[in-house]
Structure 1
Amino acid sequence: MNFDGILCLIGGFGKFQKILFVWICLPQIFLAFHMLVSVFTGAVPPHLCLSSGGGAPPPADFNFSRVAAVGVRRDGSCAPPSNHSGAAADGHPGGGCQGGWEYSTETFQSTTVTEWDLVCDSASMNNMGSSVYMFGLLVGAVAYGSLADKYGRRIIILINLAVQAVFGVGAAFAPNFYVYIAVRFVVGTSISGVIMNAFVLGTEWTGPKQRMLAGIITDYFFGFGYILLAGVAYLIRDWRKLQLAISAPGILFVSYIWLLPESARWLMANDRKEEAWELIRTAAQMNRRPLTKDLEMCQVHHMEEKTVVTKKHSFVDLVRTPRMRKQSLIVFYLWFANVLVYYGLSLNISDFGMNIYLTQMIFGLVEMPARTITLFTLNRSRKLSQLAFLALGGSACLLTIFIPNELSVVKTVLAMIGKFGITASLSIIYVYSAEIFPTVIRQNGIGFGSMCARTGGVLAPMMYLLRRISPQAPMVLCGLCPLLGSALTLLLPETADRPLPDTIEDVEGPELSGEGDGPP
């Protein structure tokens, strides 16, 4: 009897698993805080270049909204110092803003931009900070995935929750921008460590029939954190206090030392069967499914069985054979495109012209129906669901470039539809990937897919530097990348209601090339 068979006997989603998912889902709220807080802490308020002659700052009732980008040309370099009406002080090109910057405090008391003057020639530093954080996610995905396979899911989750709390609080006291992005990089690595291993821990304790639902539950809590952040940021307009508010409660997760169980499936795979069966007995009792005679016999069998040496597989197997290579490359691109556009939209909501807090809340609310609808479409077709939502998201993003800035509501609605499609598509790719890759290389495939996703996350903040070329360039990219992914999805197989492939031969069919087995 394999572990799925054991779960069927003790309950695949009973009281034990439901309590486990409470512990897994609570950190998701704070993960959303850390992932998206730069929308507010790194916001660029309307600003004005003061006269280099030490002129007086603008009056208290000065209308910054009329000169939201005064002193900045399209290429991002400083224009000549301007007076309070927004007109240039002289008629020839200027260099840096010698008199310093004055920022509107109507929306934000302070941000990292206003504290360290990350505007004009330094504007790219702000995008770089977000990319460094996303690079932390990439490093964390690579490092903590392998460490969790070696040392267990539980200990890696506990370590990363502690790192997230300590360094998150530390970011609120950063003395300069370089220390700030270094600390945020460490927070990023910890986010990956928690997201991946909490998801794996939950699915490894959940029965096959409930795994898709269990995965969506964790997504709901991330979406709830998305919405809640809008309210917290609205109440706390100072970036240091906001950073402290979203990080300090993480100290409470120290209680997980006593609450969070290890994965019994991982314990069995690592020849720690006594510990695994102790947890299985606990789960059976909590689920009111006491150990049966069949299960006791299964335990004896597991204790006595010897380790079977199997053929080793590596990343090379993902691209060694033609059909597997085609499917792998397409899936990797889908991971990249989904995350690039998801964070490209999520981290730049101020571009749509509406109130930043309202837009954040709307984008968070969109997450809920987007993730819910996949529960119904996935059962019908993985392929058509992926294709349709990518096409919807890409088309909506592309349409925003034709909407004038004066129609900010229309532009935001289209961006919201784009976010809906991409969020649904991102939920689907998790399930679709697990079913496309065969068992022998499934972990390799999903692991590399995650790396491609994090690469998209690293590039998402930098994508908005394309505004120097054209203001519409970022949204053109957000539209074309999903549409290309939608077309490529046509080349993938349907996996709904199909048995999972176990070997590469199952993917390639009877005429597997390169194996030298001869005709079937």
Structure 2
Amino acid sequence: MIGDNKDSCVSKSPTGRKLEEILEKIGGFGLYQKWIFVLTCYPYFLAGFFMLNPVFILGVPEHRCAIPGYANDTYEIQGEEHLHLINLTIPRSTVEGREYDRCQMFEYQNNSLILNWLNTTDSRPMVKCNKWVYDRTVFTNTFAAQVDLVCDKEIWAANAGMIFYAGMLFGSVISGVLADRYGRKPVMYVSVLVMAAASIGLAWVTVYWLFCLLEFIIGAAITASFMPGYVISIEITSCKKRFWPGMVSNYPYAIGLLVLAGIAYGVRDWFYIELYTSFPGIIMICYWWLIPESPRWLLTERRVKEAEAVIRTAAKWNKVELPSGDLFDKNSVVEDKSNASFVQLFTHKVLCIRTVLIFFNWMVVALAYFGLALNSGNLSVDLYLNFGLSGLVEFPAYLIATYVVERFGRRIPYCISMIIGGISCVSTIFSIKYAPEGSEVITLVLALIGRLCVTAAFSIVYIHSVELFPTVVRNAGMGGASVFARAGTMIAPYIVILGESISGAMGEALPLIIFGAVSLISGITSLWLPETLNRDLPETVEDGEKFGRYNELLFYSAFSYLAHTLQFNCKLTLFTLPLI
């Protein structure tokens, strides 16, 4: 998503300004640009398959120790005799909501239970089990169940999720470097091939380390496939028309989430979920002949003829006549090297504090977004219904974000979204712990409100951040924000596994309380960032230092009045400082 303020994307190089004039002349976002945009949206659709499939692939079903020597043991009770064997072998659980202990069983000797059946008291010594049986009601099979990522290995499932999101972090960093060096198109194409091959191969993996390796590769390849594609679409669209493509590109991702929920509900086996969500990636093999290279990148590489060919193709599709002859002067084509160093974000006090706040908000909103999605299985409602509804609320979230940012600005809508989302998540403790039986719907509604608000905030924070960073450090600032966002996603699986390990009412509520609490903090701290709507955006670091510092007097007056009313004797310096 790109801010729609004209000043935010005007190039300082003569070639960039000339390209912008031509793109505007041929329609800005005409038929050709729309066609390329639709094609580059497909990787977002595939991202919806993979970014949250750990919910189903690494889901841990209800389980207990297997009865030693009982070949046909199942989690489901087969009859009175089977129930009797379970009661003699497996101790009752002391954890709320569990019937039998998940990790321990009564000690036995010589692989024979009969030797110990005479002693039926619970004072018998217990030992850790090394084999488990799983409930097949929610999942027919998951990778976590297939390799027994339970008990002492429970954290391994969270580690695998973290490794996947670490791959996305690596992909976001390396794809930008490679795309600038070798072009957007080859990086996207190679990434698609790697993603398809690794995801199909993952379905046949039976060992943990190889699973983690392929998950890392898939995570990196996903990011490296949709980011260059998005850049191609944006760089072939005129500056004035980039806002809507940036917002609409979120919808294919949400559609992918809904399709994933349907596939998972239909097959319930991680092998088939992985296969059915991997094969659609093969379609992108034909993209090499359908999507052009970015003309903006071609110009920076002095490949003027190729850039002109792309522009003339776009003009032909859009039914616009361009003059014959060269569109660009070869001798004047130079790369725009006006960007400053990432370090400059921290060399000025105001800009440094503002950068820290932006990075913090990105980390929190990503943590809350992915955490709420991964936590779908922890709630006492149907997993597939919860996940499907969570994907469905993305659509109104994007619509709300698109509407409010153009009418009410960026700062206040982000603040309100995070505060409402945070309150909704924290409030689930009351519906889980104190509401009567059958109140699961209340918990689900509160969690969905939290998801909707956080999703809207994710869209808003992108626009706000793009406009807050000065032009010369904008790419560096957004790259840093993306890194912190990925760090938030890497933390999310551990908070989810914390709730699963505690179990009971508190285990169900704890992840939501954590996500809600950090969302509240993020919403409040965002008030210290200036508004950017309808304002000239900062170009230089010095502009960024001065931007928005003295134009929110009413906000500070309110805090000063509150401090005076409460008769504080100490000076509330934090609330009387100008906006940072």
SS at match of 1:403: helix
Residue 78 of structure 1 pairs with residue 106 of structure 2: no
Cα-to-partner distance string for 1:396-439 (whole Å, 9 max, x where unaligned)? 11111222264211111101000000100111112111111111
Contact 1:71 1:120 in 2 (8 A): no
For 2:338 and 2:230, the matched residues in 1 are separated by 27
Partner of 1:478: 515
Partner of 1:517: none
Cα-to-partner distance string for 1:36-91 (whole Å, 9 max, x where unaligned)? 11211222222122334648625855599xx9x976869x98344599xxxx9733
SS at match of 2:432: coil
Q: Which has the larger radius of gyration?
A: 2
Q: Residue 393 of structure 1 aligns to which amino acid in structure 2? A: G
Cα-Cα RMSD: 2.8
User: TM-score with structure 2 length normalisation?
Assistant: 0.81
| Structure 1 position 219, deviation (Å) | 0.4
Contact 2:366 2:488 in 1 (8 A): yes
| Structure 1 position 306, deviation (Å) | 5.5
SS at match of 2:43: helix
| Residues 249 and 73 of structure 1: CA distance in aligned 2, closer, same or farther (over 3 Å) | same
| Structure 1 position 511, deviation (Å) | 13
For 2:548 and 2:34, the matched residues in 1 are separated by 45
Q: Residue 18 of structure 1 aligns to which amino acid in structure 2? A: K
For 1:420 and 1:135, the matched residues in 2 are separated by 25
| Structure 1 position 106, deviation (Å) | 2.0
Cα-to-partner distance string for 1:324-376 (whole Å, 9 max, x where unaligned)? 11211111111100111111011120111111111111001000000011111
| Residues 350 and 439 of structure 1: CA distance in aligned 2, closer, same or farther (over 3 Å) | same
Contact 2:106 2:125 in 1 (8 A): no
Residue 181 of structure 1 pairs with residue 207 of structure 2: no
| Residues 81 and 48 of structure 1: CA distance in aligned 2, closer, same or farther (over 3 Å) | farther
| Structure 1 position 210, deviation (Å) | 2.5
SS at match of 2:138: coil
Partner of 2:3: none
For 1:276 and 1:266, the matched residues in 2 are separated by 8
Partner of 1:26: 42
Q: Residue 304 of structure 1 aligns to which amino acid in structure 2? A: N
Partner of 2:467: 435
| Residues 309 and 22 of structure 1: CA distance in aligned 2, closer, same or farther (over 3 Å) | closer
Cα-to-partner distance string for 1:78-116 (whole Å, 9 max, x where unaligned)? 344599xxxx97336734224x21112222221112211
Contact 1:49 1:102 in 2 (8 A): yes
SS at match of 1:102: strand
For 1:218 and 1:91, the matched residues in 2 are separated by 61
Partner of 1:502: 539
Partner of 1:389: 417
For 1:461 and 1:59, the matched residues in 2 are separated by 26
SS at match of 2:241: helix
- Aligned residue runs from structure 1 range 193-342, under 5 A: 193-292=224-323, 299-300=327-328, 302-305=329-332, 307=334, 313-342=340-369
User: TM-score with structure 1 length normalisation?
Assistant: 0.90
| Residues 62 and 414 of structure 1: CA distance in aligned 2, closer, same or farther (over 3 Å) | farther
| Residues 93 and 453 of structure 1: CA distance in aligned 2, closer, same or farther (over 3 Å) | farther
For 2:31 and 2:152, the matched residues in 1 are separated by 56
Residue 365 of structure 1 pairs with residue 381 of structure 2: no
For 1:486 and 1:189, the matched residues in 2 are separated by 30
For 1:494 and 1:360, the matched residues in 2 are separated by 34
Contact 1:383 1:490 in 2 (8 A): yes
Contact 2:58 2:143 in 1 (8 A): yes
Question: How many pairs are equivalent?
Answer: 500
- Aligned residue runs from structure 1 range 150-165, under 5 A: 150-165=181-196
For 2:383 and 2:316, the matched residues in 1 are separated by 49
The one of 157, 173, 178 equivalent to 1:126 is 157
| Structure 1 position 3, deviation (Å) | 2.8
Which runs of 5 or more structure 1 residues have no equivalent in the other structure? 513-520
Contact 2:64 2:102 in 1 (8 A): no
| Residues 230 and 367 of structure 1: CA distance in aligned 2, closer, same or farther (over 3 Å) | same
For 1:157 and 1:456, the matched residues in 2 are separated by 25
Partner of 1:138: 169
The one of 460, 475, 483 equivalent to 2:492 is 460
| Structure 1 position 271, deviation (Å) | 2.2
Contact 1:72 1:79 in 2 (8 A): no
Partner of 1:493: 530
Cα-to-partner distance string for 1:125-148 (whole Å, 9 max, x where unaligned)? 111111110111111111111111
| Structure 1 position 270, deviation (Å) | 2.6
Identity %: 34
Q: Residue 399 of structure 1 aligns to which amino acid in structure 2? A: S
Contact 2:421 2:516 in 1 (8 A): yes
For 2:351 and 2:62, the matched residues in 1 are separated by 51
Contact 2:36 2:233 in 1 (8 A): yes
Contact 1:73 1:79 in 2 (8 A): no
For 1:308 and 1:360, the matched residues in 2 are separated by 46
Partner of 2:110: none
SS at match of 1:108: coil
For 1:339 and 1:167, the matched residues in 2 are separated by 25
Partner of 2:54: 38
Contact 1:77 1:121 in 2 (8 A): no
